[in-house]
Amino acid sequence: MPKNIKLAKRSGFCYGVKRAVETVQKLKQQNPDKKICILGELIHNMHVIKELEDMGIKTIYEVPEHGEGICVIRSHGASPETLEKISNAGFELVDLTCPDVKKVQQKAIKLVQEGCFLVIVGKAEHPEVMAIKACAEQFGNDVVVATEIEQLKEYEQKIKEHKKVGVVVQTTQMISTLKEIVNYLIPISKEIIVENTICLSTSMRQKEAKDLAQETDLMVVVGSKKSANTSHLAEILKPITKTIHIEDDSELKDYNDLIEAAQNISITAGASTPDKIINNVMNKLKGE
């Protein structure tokens, strides 16, 4: 009996990632003789990074003392100090921070300026969160990052004493994590302002994947293990149905037994997964 294989409508590049990739490619086409580099991986997908390198677009991980050509800020954003460093090094700066991430930075700054103790719900080591924190800390020191209540316990007294508490969220976080943090903060805060800055694309992608999982024997999540939004998809789906997280079709062979046993298979993919990778997975599952 042939398998029933479905692909989530909301899978693959979100508009912020699409914008970043297309803009960088266009930059190279319009400036063939200029050196172009990106500070950090443009998106969390090694296939895309390799394609950009083949075009002559380099990824750098530190700002050199002296630079030439164009330096691109990736969709995750960067700290004000980093932006200044790039300009001072002599680069032409092109800022491709995702507009949704920019909004979080602006809301974080506003809350700190209004005297809030700021809680950023996100992973402290994630580049997007590091940039949000750095933006907010220009205007005050009461800024903490947390994805678990335990991480806030040491600040409990300070939170109780503060006039107001503000909350922003990493754009690719899970709504369940935000709820958990807010539920902890409400009884210990005099006043709390919550800005749900999870991007609409992330929320809709998660909701669609959860709906698909209800009627599926096996969910296949495609995308980089380094991608926060892709990892969260897998995390959300595992309690609902059998779920595997792969980076590309070459990993499907590791799950032959699960695939064989499943009649209904659904595929979803992270916001930094190219269509080509998704299609390869789809075709291999169909036996093409």
The CA distance from 244 to 251, in Å, is: 10
The CA distance from 81 to 7, in Å, is: 42
Q: Which one from 41, 114, 125, 128 is the annotated catalytic residue?
A: 128
Supply angle C-alpha 75, 46, 50, rounded to 5: 100
Sheet containing 116-121: give its strands across.
Answer: 143-146, 116-121, 164-169, 192-194
- Tell me if residue 148 is catalytic: no
Q: How far apart are the first and last CA of the chain?
A: 16
The CA distance from 54 to 44, in Å, is: 17
Cβ contacts of 25-29, under 8 Å, gap ≥ 24: 25/52, 25/55, 27/70, 27/72, 27/94, 28/55, 28/56, 28/57
Catalytic residue numbers, as ranges: 128
